[in-house]
Amino acid sequence: MHPLTHPAQAPAAGADAVAEAEPAGRVASASETAAGPVSMPTAGAPSAEPALVTLDDIRRAAGVIRGVVVRTPLLRFGPPLPDDASGRTRAWLKPESLQPIGAFKLRGAYYNIASLPPERRAAGVVTHSSGNHAQGVARAARLLGVRAVIVMPSDAPAVKVERVRADGAEVVVVGPSSEERAERAAELAWRDGLTMVAPYDDAATIAGQGTIGLEIVEQLAEIDAEAGVGGRLSPFTVLVPVGGGGIASGVATAVKSLAPDATVIGVEPELAADGRASLHEGRIVTWPTEQVGRTIADGQRTGHIGVIPFAHFRRYLDGILVVSEDEIARAMVRASREARLVLEPSGATSLAAWLFHASELPAGGPVVCILSGGNVDPERYESLLARGIAAGG
C-alpha cells in the first residue's frame, strides 16, 4: 500500500453496488434533493452515503460539453528525453487555464445547467462565488440562454465582477462573508424559483469536471499509440488540486474507473489542508476562514470539502499531498519559464507537488499535473513571480 494511502480509502461496503444500481446524475444529487443551496455539514460524516458519480455520467457530460470547452492538450514538462519507449516517464501538464474562462469550472457549470429540465432552465439559475465558478456559471448560462444571478462579495476584485457582468449575468453584491452570500443566494432561489448551481457539492458538477480525467486517459493512450506502444496503459499518477473537492472527485472517478492501476492524489496548500485532515479523521473537518484565507491559492480557500466529494474521496482518492506557499510561487515561476503558462496560485499547486514532493509519489510511470486555472491580474502575477524568484525560482 502506498504511504499516502489513508485508512478511510477502503471502499465502503456496497459502495460499488450503489454506484452501479443508481447512476448518479442531477436527479440523485444532494443539491437536487435539497431545496435551495446545498446543505453544508459543519463536521461529522454524513448519515447516508450519497450516490457516486459513474463513468457513464462523465461520458454523458463529455458529449454535452464538446465544442464548448477546449480539449486541453497534455504538454510535456521536464527533461527533454523520455526514459522509456512509451515516452511517458516524466511529467505532463493538463492546462485548464486555457479554457475560455481561464479555468476548468466551465465544464461542470455547463453540464450542470445543460442537464436541467426545461422548466428549471426557463426559471434561471443562481450561485454564490467570488471566483472562477461565478465566471463558469455566467458563461454557461449565457451560452445556453439561461438567466443567471451571481451573488458576489463586496470585496470581490472589480475585474471579476466586470467579467461576470460581461457575460450577461445579474450580479448581487452582499457583505464579505461567505455565510451572507450563501444565505442571499438561497433567498433568491426561493423567491424566484432559481436553481442553485453548486460549485462542487453536486453530482452534475462533479461529472462535468470528471471529463478532465476522461481526456487524460484518452490522451495517454494516444501518446502510447503514437510511440508504437499499444495495449494496456501502464500505471500513471494524476495530481489534482483540492478546494471543495469537485474536480478531484470527478477526475478520480474517471481515472480509477478506466485505469484501476493509476494513482490519483489531491493537492492542497498546507495553510488550507482541511481535505487531508478530513481523510485522516474519516469525517469532514472544517478549518476556519481566518486560517484558510491565509493561502495565496485563493481557489483553495474552502474551509471544508463537500459531502458528495468526501464520498468520492473515500472511494477513489489515494491521498492528499500538501505544498507550501513558497513552493506554489516557485511553481508559478517554473510554469512561466518552462511551460509558458500563466497560472494562478491554485493552478500551480499540483505542479508544486511534482516539483518539490516527487519522493512522496509512487515510483515509476508518468505524472500528470492538472493546472486548474490562470486567472490572476497582471499586477498580482508580477508580484507573485517576484516572490517565486526570490524563493529560488
Of 1, 81, 158, 363, the one binding its own copies by CB under 8 A: 81
Q: Which is nearer to its own copies, 364 or 393 (CB)?
A: 393
70 in contact with its own copies (CB under 8 A): yes
Nearest to 303 by CA among 337, 268, 328, 338: 268
Nearest distance in Å: CB 334, its own copies? 9
263 in contact with its own copies (CB under 8 A): no
Residues 230 and 124: their CA atoms lie apart, in Å, by 47
The Cα-based distances of 275 to 254, 296, 305, 329 in angstroms read 20, 17, 6, 21
Of 333, 351, 352, 355, the one binding its own copies by CB under 8 A: 333
For the chain, the C-alpha Rg in angstroms (whole number) is: 20
Q: Which is nearer to its own copies, 25 or 102 (CB)?
A: 102
Active-site annotation holder among 29, 86, 94, 105: 105
Nearest distance in Å: CB 378, its own copies? 5
Tell which phi-psi region holds residue 303, choosing left (phi > 0), alpha (psi between -120 and 50) or beta.
Answer: alpha
Nearest distance in Å: CB 59, its own copies? 17
Q: Which is nearer to its own copies, 66 or 294 (CB)?
A: 66
Residues 358 and 339: their CA atoms lie apart, in Å, by 19
**Which amino acid does the sequence have at 197?**
V
Q: Is the dihedral of CA 81, 83, 85, 91 positive or negative?
A: negative
Nearest distance in Å: CB 315, its own copies? 32
Residues 332 and 345: their CA atoms lie apart, in Å, by 7
Active-site annotation holder among 29, 31, 346, 372: 372
Active site annotation includes 372: yes
Residues 336 and 340: their CA atoms lie apart, in Å, by 4
Report residue 266 as a C-alpha cell.
489531491
Residues 122-151 that bind its own copies (CB under 8 A): 139, 142-143
Residues 74 and 155: their CA atoms lie apart, in Å, by 36
Which residue stretch of 13-21, 75-83, 276-284, 293-301 sits at the interface with its own copies (rule: CB under 8 A)? 75-83
98 in contact with its own copies (CB under 8 A): yes
Q: Which is nearer to its own copies, 24 or 69 (CB)?
A: 69
Q: Which is nearer to its own copies, 308 or 342 (CB)?
A: 342
Of 226, 358, 364, 392, the one binding its own copies by CB under 8 A: 226
75 in contact with its own copies (CB under 8 A): yes
Stretch 342-381: interaction string toward its own copies, x if CB under 8 A: xx-----------------------------xxx-xxx-x
Q: Which is nearer to its own copies, 10 or 70 (CB)?
A: 70
Which residue stretch of 74-82, 174-182, 205-213, 247-255 sits at the interface with its own copies (rule: CB under 8 A)? 74-82
Active site annotation includes 105: yes
Residues 76 and 223: their CA atoms lie apart, in Å, by 11
63 in contact with its own copies (CB under 8 A): no
Answer whether 265's CB lies under 8 Å from 319's CB. Answer: yes
Nearest distance in Å: CB 54, its own copies? 25
Of 97, 132, 278, 300, the one binding its own copies by CB under 8 A: 97
* Residue whose cell numbers read 487555464: 97
Contacts of 179 (CB under 8 A, 6+ apart): none
Which residue stretch of 77-85, 146-154, 179-187, 292-300 sits at the interface with its own copies (rule: CB under 8 A)? 77-85
- What is the bridge-based pairing of β-strands 319-323 and 75-77? unpaired
Nearest distance in Å: CB 270, its own copies? 24
Residues 50 and 310: their CA atoms lie apart, in Å, by 9
Q: DSSP secondary structure string, 206-267?
A: HHHHHHHHHHHHHHHHHHHHHTT--SSPPP-EEEEE-SSSHHHHHHHHHHHHH-TT-EEEEE
Report residue 131 as a C-alpha cell.
471566483
Answer whether 64's CB lies under 8 Å from 96's CB. Answer: no
Q: Which is nearer to its own copies, 191 or 340 (CB)?
A: 340
Which residues of this protein are in contact with its own copies, per CB under 8 A? 66-67, 70-73, 75-76, 79-81, 95, 97-98, 100, 102, 139, 142-143, 166-167, 223, 226-227, 333, 336-343, 373-375, 377-379, 381-382, 385-386, 388-389, 393
Catalytic residues: 105, 372
